[in-house]
Amino acid sequence: MHYWLLMIALAGFVLSISAQENSPVRTPDEPGAALENQAAALIDEILLEIPQLESKENQIAAATLAIDLIWQRDEQRARALARETAAKIRSELVPILEKDELLRAYLLYPPHQYQKLRTDFLLKIVKYDPAFAQKLAAATAPLVLKAVPKTPNEQTTIFNWQKEERDLEQRLAFRLADKDVEQALAVARESLRKDSSQESLNVLRRLQFKDAKIADAFADEIIRGLLTEDFTKDRGAHETTAVFFRQLDPQTGGFGGMLVCKDCSLPAALNLNPQRLRQLAAKWLNYALTLDDEKAGFYILPAAGLLEKLVPGKKAAIRVKIAAIEKNAPKRFEYEQFERKVSDREVPPEELAKLALTKKGVDRFHAYRQAFVKAANASRAALERLSASIADHPENEEKRWLVDEINVNLAGKTAEEGELDQAYEMSQKIAKRDRRLGLLAFLALEFQKKGETEKTKRLTEEIAALLDLSTKDKMPKAIVGYDIFSTVFQTFAKTDTTRAFELVETVLPAANDSYFGGFPNLHELKKRHASQLLSYAETVRRLAETDFERTRRLTLYFKRPELALFAKLLIAQAILDEKYEWGNVADFKQMVVITN
């Protein structure tokens, strides 16, 4: 297990990827002001430590988080830090190269990691001051974007960086659209004039929620831009077109119908130019039909119905290709057929579970999991029907997983209906310890809400016994990197903060000694585990309210300065940010291409 998995033990410390609002500064007499003053002092300490980090990459990553945290409390200080950070980014992406051979070497191996840091940095700034963000974007624009290639390798490198720049411009427009539709449209349009980008589909989706007419106009611009692309030379343009058609509902014409999030709202259908839409479909099909069957299956199968409708003259060719995919790429064909059943509301969970009998290993698990998710999202009765339908299925690991998940979910629904004692009895039948722990943690909070102190205490003691906090070698290793840790940690913080401190203090020493290998990259740490870190925000604030110094001392378990500083940042953010929302979670509901 890599070091960042264990960071989740301290976690909690909310990582708001793009919080749209920060909490206002409290007056000295308001509740929580003293704690916020302690957090502010911690930020002062952090700002002194950032320049001392060995890695410039980590300096930039830490400063980016700090800027986001202090902007609304001290804008002048945040702007100064932003300029300093931009200068560090520029020093790597816009180096001073006096000799041509140095430029040629730079073009072969440009510092891509700093482009990622630049993207994260600019996406933070744009939500506060778009003009400032655009100024910093221009100042840090990588030298490679304007270089003149002399070899095929240089040409490929420059092309790829230019594509990434278009993606960044569209992502900035996506963020802008949440506040200023006209400005977002201007940025997105200017970017589209240079080249296409899959990210423009996210902008389109957000514009649909803001202004239908503007969304229609922008969709037409995307289509017209894609019509000028050469799909044989630009895979990105081909994939953007594929995603566009995949997201169009063949029945209603609605855009964004294939979203990954549950219960995402759908705006009105786009009013598209039918002639241009048919032209794009025909052009794209001419290329897609030449792909090998595996790739073609990935692109054509999800949108086959719509494509046949738009280009009836290609119906026979599409059917022939689908037959070839079924024969030569059967796994891809089966996967798409199965996913279609998953998304079809008329297909019951029992049918998905039955399909699991025809599969093995990971594929069987996937089928069972989709059956469970579909039933759990439907109703308690649907879960009970699913449970009855698998009674005669052969015993195997995947089935045991499904039985446990159904039982846990049924117990949870029983608790939600107010039958807590019955739900507790059901918890005793859960075979897998982690799942029982999660259910007990949930029930403890429910008993606490009802004011049943003794039952809450009994459950926390039962949880502690299952964890065996007193013996390090018996501490379940998986619990650190598994979301059950979050559940138990949060429950202890709300019901017994002493046990919450004991849990994290028991895990951290062994975690630091055993798993924090390699040099910590704060940007990757944040990127990979932001959602888990978010889940602990309220938990850590509760610990800090109980004992700020003991909470702060948790950072001492991290021997590497980078991780200790990151932990301090996250503690401060958990205290100062009242909007415990991972910004991209809200953004995801209006995305068709999921990005970090």
SS3 232: coil
Q: Which residues pair with 255 in a beta bridge?
A: 248
For 350, the token pair is: 């029992």
Q: Which residue has the tokens 């017994």?
A: 496
SS3 475: coil
Burial of 427 (0-12, 13-18, 19+ CB in 10 A): buried
DSSP characters over 91-137: HHHS----SHHHHHHHHHS--HHHHHHHHHHHHHHTTT-HHHHHHHH
Q: Which residue has the tokens 């609605």?
A: 254
For 412, the token pair is: 């949870």
Long-range contacts of 75-81, Cβ-Cβ distance < 8 Å, separation of 24 or more: 75/128, 78/128, 79/132, 81/47
Task: Write the Ramachandran bin of 41: left for phi over 0, alpha for psi from -120 to 50, otherwise beta.
Answer: alpha
How far apart are alpha carbons 298 and 21 in whole angstroms? 39
Predicted local distance difference test score (pLDDT) of residue 429: 84
106, 97 contact by CB (below 8 A): yes
Q: Which residues pair with 536 in a beta bridge?
A: none
How far apart are alpha carbons 508 and 554 in whole angstroms? 8
3-state secondary structure 19-85: CCCCCCCCCCCCCCHHHHHHHHHHHHHHHHHHHHCCCHHHHHHHHHHHHHHHCCCCHHHHHHHHHHH
How far apart are alpha carbons 119 and 124 in whole angstroms? 9
Q: Which residue has the tokens 């509301």?
A: 345
How far apart are alpha carbons 94 and 81 in whole angstroms? 19
pTM: 0.84
For 39, the token pair is: 């957090």
170, 188 contact by CB (below 8 A): yes
SS3 496: coil
How far apart are alpha carbons 85 and 121 in whole angstroms? 8
State in Å, rounded, how far the first CA of the chain is from the last one. Answer: 23
Q: Is the dihedral of CA 568, 569, 570, 573 positive or negative?
A: positive
Write the CA distances from 367 to 258, 384, 394, integer angstroms: 19, 17, 15
How far apart are alpha carbons 51 and 87 in whole angstroms? 13
SS3 512: helix
Predicted local distance difference test score (pLDDT) of residue 6: 29
How far apart are alpha carbons 265 and 534 in whole angstroms? 24
pLDDT tens for 319-378 read: 999 999 999 999 899 888 888 888 778 899 999 999 999 988 898 999 999 999 999 988
Predicted local distance difference test score (pLDDT) of residue 531: 66
Count the Cβ atoms, other than its own, within 10 Å of residue 236.
Answer: 18
SS3 487: helix
Report the length, in residues, of the chain: 596
405, 382 contact by CB (below 8 A): no
For 238, the token pair is: 């081909």
- Cα angle 575, 581, 584; round to 5: 135
Question: Any residues with CB less than 8 A from the CB of 381 and at least 6 apart, and which?
Answer: none
Predicted local distance difference test score (pLDDT) of residue 186: 94
pLDDT tens for 45-102 read: 999 999 999 999 999 999 999 998 899 889 999 999 999 999 999 999 999 887 888 8
Predicted local distance difference test score (pLDDT) of residue 431: 81
How far apart are alpha carbons 440 and 456 in whole angstroms? 10
Predicted local distance difference test score (pLDDT) of residue 255: 81
62, 50 contact by CB (below 8 A): yes
Predicted local distance difference test score (pLDDT) of residue 447: 94
pLDDT below 50 — which residues of the chain? 1-26, 28-29, 31, 260-261, 472-480, 515, 580-583
SS3 259: coil
